[in-house]
Amino acid sequence: MTLGKEETPTTFTLEPRDSILGSALRIKLSPNTNYLTIHYSTLPEAAALGWMDASMTAGKKRPFLFTQGQAILSRTWFPCVDSPSSRFTYAAEIETPDGMMALMSAKNPQQVSPDGMYKFEMDKPVPPYLVALAVGDISFQPIGKRTGIYAEPSMLKKAAWEFADMEKMVETAEGLYGPYDWGRYDVLVLPTGFPFGGMENPILTFATPTVITGDRSLVSLVAHELAHSWSGNLVTNATWDDFWMNEGFTVYFERRIMEALYGAEYVEMLAQLEFWELEDEVRAFGEKNPDTHLKGNLKGRNPDDGVGDIAYQKGASFLLMLERLTDRNKWDEFLKNWFQANKFTSKTTEDFLAYLKTDYLEKHGLTANVDEWVYGPGIPANCPRPNSTKLAIAEKAATNIVNAIPATKEWTPHEWVHFVRNLPKKTTVETLKKLDSQFNLTNSGNAEIRCAWYDTAIRRGYVKEILPQVEEFLVGIGRRRFLMPVYTALKETGHVEDARRIFTKAKPGYHAVSYGSIEQLLK
């Protein structure tokens, strides 16, 4: 490090740590100071940093690092004004060990740098939670002219096959909501320890390897993260209480992309599955619980508490309800204008509602119970309810399992998941074994199926026989969405000792986000 001669030492105080918000760093400066430098190191326990040993990667040779800034973790890897309402451009110089590639949410290299030095530039203003870094044994493969895949070498071909439709997705999205403003759109497939499904880091989506199923059944994740290039990244929630504006819009938009590419029936099925999850969540909260309001109230709480089906699914349902008030073209025009008028800014719920009132509802002479949706609990009576015929058939097959094993191999993984979840509580171990031997559910390549199957099987007493595969699954993945149901099922059926033993073995591969949730569950 060399310091310019103008750099003048100053003083600072670091306040005691708040368990949620961290420590305020107070720096003395003069009224006209407009530039300062902070020299620092992170600590190994920094929550944003996922340090993975070589054993936790696909290649097993080199370690891997990824960052996860959302919601308020960026402050654990660089000092910042850590609010989604703060936006800035950034440049970075990253020094890595030889032979490793560094990538950021910025213009990226496509080849390994011979000296381990990388320079990055993000020339659009982004909030702190969207500054991201990954370092590892990474290779690149193009998909289209502005899309491509980064992954560990052994994952690259599989990932490129899985996401072959990326370029078409970007074109479809642009058709709906205006130009893609970020230059390239690439996806980085992370090692197994990544705790989330995906993270919409601009230019470079971070994706869980569990979407590489070999059957292209989970590409909606890419549609979702791509959709964030508009909702979330272009126009950002001003505070985490406005989180539904990031996620509700994105789920709505994801379904529009999927509908354009794969048809309405397929999307109805995805929407139906997720709507049931919303109903479950509302039931779990209680229908009058303020945590079921779209507008959050997370003051004094960890903003990750607001991550759930309310923001995603109730948010998307709200927008679908609004769409159906008139014809789709008017709604699409309104949304396109919202994004274009507010691009590269952060907005509150109230900003959006004011725009909605003048530029959509009043403009077209429409009325809607907006306040009930946004500031009221539960699911309003005028909520659009998906109705998927395909899932109804799978459900019927499940309830009829006592009489007949279904004779299908044509089902999509979504139908399988629904079938598995609806197997009656009294389904015998013998029947489960028969199903397993016919359809090999215990060893499915699809993590959604495995997770649902293990949850169902464990709760119906089919545990001992499949425990080695359950263990392999829990050790081999790090995504919280799949870990929690299986650990919970083990705990609630008297297998907490097995759960603890597996957790002890698996936890070096888990990111802090997954680790914390499971440790809490099993303590």
Partner 1 sequence: MPFRHLLLSLACFIVFSCKNETTPAPSKATSQRPDPHSLADPFNDKMLELQLKLKVDFDKKILSGSASWSFDRKEKTNEIIFDTDNLTNRKSDPWERRNPNHLYARTP
Q: Which residues have a catalytic role annotated?
A: 225, 312
Nearest residue (CB) to partner 1, 303 versus 509? 303
Q: Which is nearer to partner 1, 245 or 271 (CB)?
A: 245
Among the listed residues 27, 264, 284, 354, the single contact to partner 1 using CB under 8 A: 27
Nearest-approach distance from CB 3 to partner 1, in angstroms: 7
Binding segment (CB under 8 A) for partner 1, from list 31-39, 412-420, 447-455, 481-489: 31-39
CB 156 within 8 A of CB 141: yes
Distance, CA of 121 to CA of 460 (rounded, Å): 54
- Yes or no: say if 315 and 244 are a contact pair by the CB < 8 Å rule: yes
Specify the residue, 27 or 341, whose C-beta has the smaller distance to partner 1.
27
Cα–Cα distance, 222 to 294 (Å, whole number): 24
| Cα Rg of the chain, angstroms | 24
Of the ranges 232-240, 260-268, 409-417, 450-458, which one interacts with partner 1 (CB under 8 A)? 232-240
d(C-alpha 96, C-alpha 102), whole Å? 7
**Part of the chain binding partner 1 (CB under 8 A), chosen from 239-247, 257-265, 281-289, 496-504:** 239-247
User: Which of 187, 199, 226, 238 touches partner 1 by CB under 8 A?
Assistant: 238
What is the nearest approach in angstroms of partner 1 to the Cβ of residue 154? 20
CB of 16 to partner 1, least distance (A): 4
Closer Cβ to partner 1, 45 or 430, answer by number: 45
Q: Quick one: 11 or 367, whose CB is closer to partner 1? A: 11
Which residues contact residue 260 at a Cβ distance below 8 angstroms, ignoring those fewer than 6 apart?
172, 175, 176
Stretch that binds partner 1, among 32-40, 141-149, 333-341, 385-393 (CB under 8 A): 32-40
8 Å CB contact between 128 and 81:
yes
Closer residue to partner 1, CB minimum distance, 4 or 114: 4
- Closer residue to partner 1 (CB): 240 or 439: 240
Region near partner 1 per CB under 8 A, out of 16-24, 203-211, 247-255, 355-363:
16-24
Interaction of residue 3 with partner 1, rule CB under 8 A: yes
CB-based contacts of 77-81 (< 8 A; 24+ apart in sequence) = 77/42, 77/46, 77/48, 77/49, 77/133, 78/40, 78/128, 78/131, 79/25, 79/38, 79/40, 80/128, 80/131, 81/128
Residues 193-212 that bind partner 1 (CB under 8 A): none
Determine, following the binding rule CB under 8 A, whether residue 29 of this chain makes contact with partner 1.
yes
d(CA 124, CA 444): 42
Binders in 96-155 for partner 1, by CB under 8 A = 96-97, 100, 102, 131, 133, 135
Q: Which of residues 156-185 bind partner 1 (CB under 8 A)?
A: none
Q: How far is the CB of 131 from partner 1 (least distance, A)?
A: 7
Considering beta carbons, is residue 49 or 463 the nearer one to partner 1? 49
Complete DSSP assignment for 275-335: HHHHHHHHHHH-TT-GGGSSS---TTS-GGGG-SHIIIIIHHHHHHHHHTTS-HHHHHHHH
Q: Smaller CB distance to partner 1: residue 191 or 413?
A: 191
What is the DSSP track for 473-502? HHHH---HHHHHHHHHHHHHTT-HHHHHHH
Closer residue to partner 1, CB minimum distance, 73 or 170 = 73
Distance CA 275, CA 27 (A): 48
- How many C-beta atoms surround the C-beta of residue 403 within 10 A? 6
CB of 348 to partner 1, least distance (A): 9
Q: Which of 150, 185, 206, 240 binds partner 1 (CB under 8 A)?
A: 240
Residues 261, 175: Cα–Cα separation, whole Å: 12
Residue of 13, 382, 408, 504 that binds partner 1 (CB under 8 A): 13
Q: Which helix (H) or strand (E) holds 398?
A: helix 389-399
Tell me the number of residues near partner 1 by CB under 8 A.
88
CB of 40 to partner 1, least distance (A): 5
Nearest alpha carbon to residue 63 among 137, 153, 155, 116: 137
HSE toward the beta carbon, residue 323, CA cutoff 13 A = 18
Binding mask 84-103 for partner 1 (x = CB under 8 A): xxxxxxxxxxxxxx--x-x-
Using CA atoms in the order 218, 221, 223, 224, what is the torsion angle rounded to 10 degrees?
150
List the one residue from 30, 111, 329, 520 that touches partner 1 (CB under 8 A): 30
Structure tokens at 424: 């009656």
CB 134 within 8 Å of CB 65: yes
Q: Does 236 participate in binding partner 1 (rule CB under 8 A)?
A: no
Question: Residue 1 Cβ, how far from partner 1 at the closest point, in Å?
Answer: 6
Question: C-beta of 102: minimal distance to partner 1 in Å?
Answer: 7
- Let me know: does 490 contact 498? Beta carbons within 8 Å: yes
What backbone torsions phi and psi does residue 302 show, to the nearest 5 degrees?
A: -70, 130
- Binding residues for partner 1 restricted to 253-312, rule: CB under 8 A: 298-300, 303
| One-letter amino acid for residue 494 of the chain | G
CB 35 to partner 1: min, Å: 5
Residues between 45 and 84 with contacts to partner 1, criterion CB under 8 A: 45-47, 49, 51, 63, 65, 71-73, 75-84
Work out the angle at residue 230's Cα, subtended by the Cα atoms of residues 149 and 313, and round it to the nearest 5 degrees. Answer: 95
